[in-house]
């Protein structure tokens, strides 16, 4: 699982803007602070399959710790399942007040520096 780069510019028509123009954090219209910027944040929650992870870890141990060999020899099971998928609007003001938005902004900055081709984080 990696942070992924999306299209940089995607226009929003009036009908779509009406659906996303209120901040999910403060509940105010997105430009209430005079800033004509807002975020749309996609939040996906995953549940790990602990038993599948243990099986793969056991196979890795049987292969003397060789992850790549265990990956090839293993059943390539699903290790995690998406439990929910939501998009939320965050106004510019709340994005400055919310620590998580700062963390996400740093990840996006790293992604930009990597050219969007290298994963920022992975499970390896
Ligand atoms: Zn807000």
Say what the pLDDT of residue 111 is. 61
Ligand 1: centre distance to CA 92 (Å):
7
Taking 3-state DSSP, the helix, strand and coil percentages for the chain, each rounded to the nearest 5, stand at 40, 20, 40
Ligand 1: centre distance to CA 94 (Å):
4
**Is the Cβ–Cβ distance between 109 and 42 less than 8 Å?**
no
- Write down the pTM of the prediction: 0.61
Q: What is the largest CA-CA distance in the chain?
A: 60
Ligand 1: centre distance to CA 73 (Å):
49
Tell me: the pLDDT tens digits for 54-106? Answer: 999 999 999 999 989 998 888 999 999 999 888 889 999 888 876 776 677 66
6: Cα separation from own chain's centroid? 11
Q: How confident is the model at residue 112 (pLDDT cuts 50, 70, 90)?
A: low
The C-alpha atoms of residue 80 and residue 85 are separated, in whole angstroms, by 14
């Amino acid at each position: 699982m990696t942070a992924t780069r999306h299209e940089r510019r995607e226009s929003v028509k009036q009908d779509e803007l009406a659906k996303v123009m209120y901040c999910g954090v403060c509940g105010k219209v997105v430009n209430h602070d005079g800033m004509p910027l807002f975020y749309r944040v996609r939040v996906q929650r995953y549940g790990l399959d602990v038993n599948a992870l243990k099986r793969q870890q056991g196979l890795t141990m049987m292969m003397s710790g060789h992850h790549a060999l265990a990956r090839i020899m293993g059943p390539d099971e699903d290790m995690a399942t998406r439990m929910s998928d939501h998009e939320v609007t965050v106004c510019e003001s709340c994005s400055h007040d919310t620590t998580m938005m700062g963390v996400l902004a740093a990840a996006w900055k790293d992604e930009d520096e990597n050219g969007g081709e290298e994963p920022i984080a992975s499970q390896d």
